[in-house]
Chains A and B, each alone.
Chain A
Amino acid sequence: MKFTIGWLKEHLDTQKKDNELIEKLTDIGLEVESFENLSSGLDSFKVAKIINAEQHPNADRLRICDVDIGLDDTVKVVCGAPNAKKDLLTIYAGPGSIIPKNNMKLSVSKIRGVTSYGMLCSESELNLSNESEGITELPTVKYSDKIGKNFFKSNTEKVVDLSITPNRPDCLGVRGIARDLAAAGVGRLKKILLKNIKKNASQKIKVSITKDKNQGCTVFGSCLIEGVTNKESPQWLKEKIISLGQKPISAIVDITNYVMLDLNRPLHAYDADKIDKEIIVRNSKMGETFEALDNKEYKLNDDMCVISDKSGVLGLGGIIGGTRSGTEINTKNILLESAYFIPRSIRKTSKLLNIDTDAKFRFERGIDPQSIELGLSKAAELISEICGGKISNFDIQQTGKHEKNKIKFNISLFEKITGFKINDNDIIKILTDLGFEVTKKKLELDLKIPTWRPDITQPIDIVEEIVRIKGYENIETLQPEKTKIKDTLNAQQKLFHFLQRSVASKGYFETVTWSFTDSKINKLFKENLKEIKIVNPISSDLDVMRNSIFTNLTFYLKKNLDRGFKDISLFEIGPIFKGSKPGEQLTVIGAIKSGKISRLNWNEKDRIVDVFDVKRDVIQTLVEAGYDRQSFFVRDKSPSYYHPGKSGSVYLDKDETDPVAYFGEIHPNILKKLDIKTEGLVGFEIYMDYLRENKTKLKDLKTNFEYSDYQKSERDFAFVVDKNFKAQDLIEIISSIDKNLIRSIKIFDIYEGENIPQDKKSIALNVTIQSSEKTLEESDLEKINKLIISTVETKSGAKIRS
């Protein structure tokens, strides 16, 4: 909402300086977006005279003009206007000027090989009129002695731009802003002075509001003005309209706009001669069409509030008028409309048709239903002053009365909510200044709410009115209490934060990527999950919710590879989506690692990242989070986006049904499809939702410290087993032989090849044996040795290698 300080002062009697007013606006909740000198920028437009105009050597339509701008030397300007002739007085804009129409900043530039210093302006470029055919032609008489002078009067008028919250339609008019300021004590709200206009003619056009169900219009006021001369607006009105960044059109239109900006009272002017007999405000029927003032044809549904005549729809009430009945410069008779439309109906219709207009914006927030006559009076007065004409009596049709709503306000509520006290008289004064009718009854106030405040419906709204006008600075700053109702984080949240830092500590950079992704990439990772489409995606390559963390990770991995990075470790912890209902999501850690380990390293041989790098990271992360490595179980099943032979899944326990993690090489087909070029790409995923809560607290872990000081012995074995026999099973067989004696088992070699049958492999392992009761004798060791060999041979079909 824009307005000038001068305009504000037409409603507000104040001695305050501009800055004080500006500060006050912000203090009472009318946020000031900007406060600028209107004239800034406009003093670079000079009155100028074309001394000479030559044909441009390289362009038929261009001329090179020598322009007198009041300096010793003329400047050269390349100009395309057909009327750029010798001796023409016009308006010159130098380099650095900003053209009001398009906010374009001028600079010295070469046009077809000829340097042009600035530009000669058309009226439309300066928002003076719609004339864009040629450059402005200034009358010689008036301007011949003004060459080099500023074209625009040095205007010190300052423009304020407020961002008005949707609950304050009353402040979409200058008067509403003045009222708030007056209540806040920076001035007095002036009375609106209306001239006593004669309304002797009769309103000959019949108006009716039908009793349709959900009729969107409740009041329709009208006034017929006959014999007007529509024309350009007078300077003062033009300036007002321009000062708010709008374009003057014609007196009739400018006047209706002026009343709207001044009083937040939208009006509509019809060319009365184009109305077929009468006005009927009714609900539309499916399929009806009309051409609106935005030159688009709209096809209507059932039950939209339309203003119509005998031949059909004239306009959408409170949203947009139609071309058929629009006023033009030669319009003689006009019908002024001042009506009330129900916000809900306005919103519904404009949403369906996707129309956004100033009127719609105001009506959907709520217009004062009691401003109908005021609006007609103000507009009729101005029209008759500027355009002449005979004014009819006001015809007011209404289907219901708009009474002031009432509220009982318990004064103590103010202190209860705000924490501070003010005296009752202050409260009454503030509310009265805001337009409330107040009756005091002991501890309560009986309030009648002004009709321009549709946002006020209950006592809490009254608290807000008082506290915002009184000033938020009166609210005390109370020290926060430290009482805790429950633990800051629950177990799952603690685990989240732990895992996040645990993975990062293993060399992975945490990233945060969109929860949505490209459906084409998502397809590669979605497995059997449902694709979740976004109806209105921000762009076509972010069109679905991600089914996997890997979609975005691989996408951004590629971007970083393209940036020249090779050895990249990335992870993200966040949601993936299984369905489109609230809660159908899982929290997953996804991590990927590309390239080599120890690339270009002087003392270590480099190698390509492999499955066991990510297996280490995933297992170690789970161990750090408190899960028991001894009971982990790894299977060689994994989602299809992993390399089928080089990936696996981790279960917390052999009996668990859901794996908590996957790890492995990313499937080569995916690298190919995404055009990812790297020596190796491995990754892992941890599904937080499948990690059961770890009940073992640190205090439980630390209670029993058991250790053995008896001598340890180590024995090496090598077993020849089937090629697809799993090392995990071998370890389990051995460790379950005697859990008290066998302390650890380490695999130190896997061998296939010479001396070993083709379908077999040799697994060499080292077993540490230690008793917690005695030093083992050679014979004890021999016994366990034999037991290990025989058990492994029977249970696995392996043969000890000799």
Chain B
Amino acid sequence: MSDIKKIKDDYLNKLNNDLNIESLNQIKTELFGKNGKISNYFKKLGSLPTDERKKFASDLNSIKNELQVKIDSKLQEIETKEINSKLENEKIDVTLPEREFGRGKIHPVSQVIDEISSIFSEIGFSVEEGPDIENEHYNFTALNTPDNHPARDMHDTFYLDNNKELLLRTHTSPVQVRTMLNGKPPFKIIAPGRTYRSDSDQTHSPMFHQVEGLHIDKDINMGHLKGCLNYFIKSFFEVDKIKMRFRPSHFPFTEPSAEVDIGYEIKDGKIVIGEGDKWLEILGCGMVHPNVLKNVKVNPDKYQGYAFGIGIDRLGMLKYGINDLRAFFETDYRWLNHFGFDPLDVPSNYRGLSR
């Protein structure tokens, strides 16, 4: 008995010393290895008389446990120490730049189109599209702008043939015509897309974007038109109130026609929409002309409604403070980076148009 107590004391002493993992393993082997000191006592257990055996076994087990616990805690201590000393050597400069992550950008025109679609989706409009190359019938004649109409001069048209039959659409209104010819009323659509006019300066470019809107049903009147545009402008500019003015104007394909101005002011050199006493013209609209309805086989005595056309690029310029229209199409990497949007910023009804 005293033998094993001595072994215990000896080893507890040893374990109190400063050890490394190898010497600890050595101790473990000496005690509990195949021929370890403690192991050997366990082997001898069988040869002891029954009355002694029980007591000895109990003492041996308790000593074994005591040593085992000590070894485990020593092991922990050594491991912690080793990790700690390793960590000390592993210090890096975390202020070095991270790995690059190249996220691209969405062009403002695309972002604005998505915003517009999202807003009109909320009030039941669907999106229609049409070809960029049109014939003069869909672009003009069907829209109550016959060949000898002076309004044609207001569109500086690009032609693709000498007979002036084929052209680049000067507005997205031909989509109205195509949609109505291919379907039956009611119609409730917007048609965003590229449009072309032979014009170039700070506020005009030979290609630009328009969104056309059309709502035809049995009893759609100018009050609905006003309500729809009021809702749209408020939502688009993300303001609660908007000052809006409908002015009589003239477009061959609508009657009565209106141009819409919104109030604005200049604050700290930036344009603020919705307040102030200045007016900014932003769109043209009106009740679809009965001649247009007749041209697309819709009975104007039964159906009526409104149409509008808005410059998409211009809306984007106003909302996001972009000054030069031509820059939209010049692919300057710096401009795209600055005015472009993160592709994760998808405008939607439930999470809002923008952050």
Q: Which of A440-485 contact B (CB under 8 A)?
A: 458, 460-461, 463-464, 467-468, 472-473, 475-485
Are B329 and A512 touching (Cβ within 8 A)?
Answer: yes
Measured in the bound complex, the distance between the Cα atoms of B314 and A793 in whole Å is 65
Q: Which chain A residues lie closer than 8 Å to B120 at the CB level?
A: 488
Measured in the bound complex, the distance between the Cα atoms of B196 and A102 in whole Å is 32
- Given contacts A488-B127, A515-B168, are A571 and B104 in contact (CB under 8 A)? yes
Of B148, B161, B188, B219, the contact of A580 (CB 8 Å cutoff): B161
- Given contacts A467-B222, A538-B206, A580-B166, are A575 and B194 in contact (CB under 8 A)? yes
Of A419, A563, A584, the contact of B332 (CB 8 Å cutoff): A563
Q: Which of A476-521 contact B (CB under 8 A)?
A: 476-490, 493, 497, 500-516
Of A31, A475, A512, the contact of B107 (CB 8 Å cutoff): A512
Among residues of B, the one whose C-beta sits closest to the C-beta of A489 is B127
Measured in the bound complex, the distance between the Cα atoms of B207 and A560 in whole Å is 21
A569 contacts B by Cβ under 8 Å: yes
Measured in the bound complex, the distance between the Cα atoms of B259 and A27 in whole Å is 11
- Given contacts A419-B221, A500-B110, A580-B161, are A480 and B123 in contact (CB under 8 A)? yes
- Given contacts A166-B151, A500-B110, are A476 and B226 in contact (CB under 8 A)? yes
A602 contacts B by Cβ under 8 Å: yes
Measured in the bound complex, the distance between the Cα atoms of B330 and A239 in whole Å is 47
Q: Which chain B residues lie closer than 8 Å to A344 at the CB level?
A: 148
Are A512 and B105 touching (Cβ within 8 A)?
Answer: no
B289 contacts A by Cβ under 8 Å: yes
- Main secondary structure, interface of B, reads mixed
- Minimum Cβ distance to chain B for residue A802 (Å): 40
A601 contacts B by Cβ under 8 Å: yes
Measured in the bound complex, the distance between the Cα atoms of B22 and A96 in whole Å is 96
Q: Which chain B residues lie closer than 8 Å to A504 at the CB level?
A: 103-106, 343
Are B132 and A602 touching (Cβ within 8 A)?
Answer: no
A748 contacts B by Cβ under 8 Å: no
- Given contacts A29-B250, A505-B103, A534-B158, are A419 and B126 in contact (CB under 8 A)? no
Are B247 and A560 touching (Cβ within 8 A)?
Answer: no
Binds A, one of B57-65, B74-82, B93-101: B93-101
0/1 interface trace, chain B 163-193, chain A, CB 8 Å (1 if under)? 0001010000000000000000011100000
Q: Which of B238-281 contact A (CB under 8 A)?
A: 246-250, 255-259
Of B126, B154, B198, the contact of A485 (CB 8 Å cutoff): B126
Q: Which chain B residues lie closer than 8 Å to A483 at the CB level?
A: 124
Are A513 and B331 touching (Cβ within 8 A)?
Answer: yes
Of B104, B124, B226, the contact of A475 (CB 8 Å cutoff): B226
Q: Which chain B residues lie closer than 8 Å to A497 at the CB level?
A: 114
B311 contacts A by Cβ under 8 Å: no
Among residues of A, the one whose C-beta sits closest to the C-beta of B129 is A493
- Given contacts A31-B247, A468-B248, A538-B198, are A602 and B333 in contact (CB under 8 A)? no
Measured in the bound complex, the distance between the Cα atoms of B51 and A715 in whole Å is 60
- Minimum Cβ distance to chain B for residue A713 (Å): 33
Are B133 and A482 touching (Cβ within 8 A)?
Answer: no
0/1 interface trace, chain B 210-254, chain A, CB 8 Å (1 if under)? 000000000101111011101100000000000000111110000
B135 contacts A by Cβ under 8 Å: yes
- Given contacts A534-B159, A536-B158, A538-B198, are A510 and B106 in contact (CB under 8 A)? yes
A240 contacts B by Cβ under 8 Å: no
Give the residue among A31, A497, A501, A569 with the most B Cβ atoms within 10 A. A501
B125 contacts A by Cβ under 8 Å: yes
B318 contacts A by Cβ under 8 Å: no
Q: Which of B292-316 contact A (CB under 8 A)?
A: 304
A-B contacts, 16 of them at CB < 8 A, read: A31-B259, A418-B222, A467-B256, A485-B186, A504-B343, A506-B102, A510-B106, A511-B331, A512-B107, A512-B109, A515-B196, A535-B160, A538-B199, A563-B332, A577-B132, A580-B133
Binding site for B on A (CB under 8 A): 26-29, 31, 165-168, 343-344, 347-348, 364-365, 416-420, 458, 460-461, 463-464, 467-468, 472-473, 475-490, 493, 497, 500-516, 532-538, 542, 545, 552, 556, 559-560, 563, 565, 568-571, 574-575, 577, 580-585, 598, 601-604
Please give 16 more A-B residue pairs, beta carbons under 8 A apart, in addition to A416-B304, A505-B103, A514-B329.
A26-B247, A27-B248, A165-B250, A463-B255, A464-B257, A472-B246, A480-B227, A484-B124, A488-B126, A501-B346, A504-B106, A510-B340, A515-B194, A545-B133, A556-B331, A602-B96
